[in-house]
Amino acid sequence: MKLGGRAGILAVLVTAVVSSTAAALGGAAPVQVAAINPRCNHNVAVRLENHVRADDRHAPGSRLNDLNNRQQELDAILQEAQLEHDILQNMCTVAERPAVQDQLAGVIAWAYALEADIAPKRYALLHCPQTASTAPAGLLALGWYALASTFDDPDRLPTDPAPTPAPLVKEVMPKVQTRASAAGLTLPALSDSTQYWRDTETEKVVVCVPPSP
């Protein structure tokens, strides 16, 4: 499941890296390349988790500049987490991916939750009251859908028990749920969270068009 849709030419670059490395190893399969690839670890995910955890502990100031800076920080976390997810998807083995990708999903959901925290005040200062009231629910829908990606196992049968959430996913779930309740957003079960549901909720967000000076 795609978490954010921020991929560009990454797949082409990753393919080139895998191909050149395989050639250097005498035609080794991509799975063998992934086994020695330094990307197949939690280093980036841990750094991003520490960053978003620190942001959660230290609220930004109330000025627009402070809120914009925090927004930029969180956007950077989201972009890097999605990039890392895509790299792992292309370069690591099936056995190596799930744990770190689940951690990245937790990071992404947490970052969206923190963006939902600052959205009302930030958009109010931008003189976009409708966006201030609708953006939190849309952001939390994105976060919940990111968590739902950790339950997306195409091989799991309907009769199989639900998977156990990863530690960070389990930690972030109530953070999103509490904020969603305050924002008036009804969350489906993670296993029932679809792209259609996510898109329906995000389409309700009113685009901010600041008034002319």
Domain ranges of the chain: 10-202
Q: Is the pTM of this model over 0.75?
A: yes
| Mean pLDDT confidence for 113-130 | 97
Predicted confidence (pLDDT) per residue in 60-71, tens digit = 999 999 999 999
In three state form, how does the secondary structure of the chain look?
CCCCCCCCCHHHHHHHHHHHHHHHCCCCCHHHHHHHCCCCCCHHHHHHHHHHHHHHHCCCCCCHHHHHHHHHHHHHHHHHHHHHHHHHHHHCCCCCHHHHHHHHHHHHHHHHHHHHHHHHHHHHHCCCHHHHHHHHHHHHHHHHHHHHHHHCCCCCCCCCCCCCCCHHHHHHHHHHHHHHHHHCCCCCCHHHCCHHHHHHHHCCCCCCCCCCC
| Mean pLDDT confidence for 49-70 | 96
Give the confidence band of 154 by pLDDT, cuts at 50, 70, 90. Answer: low
Q: 15-19, 111-115, 134-138: which has the minimum mean pLDDT?
A: 15-19
Range of 80-84, 85-89, 149-153 with top mean pLDDT:
80-84
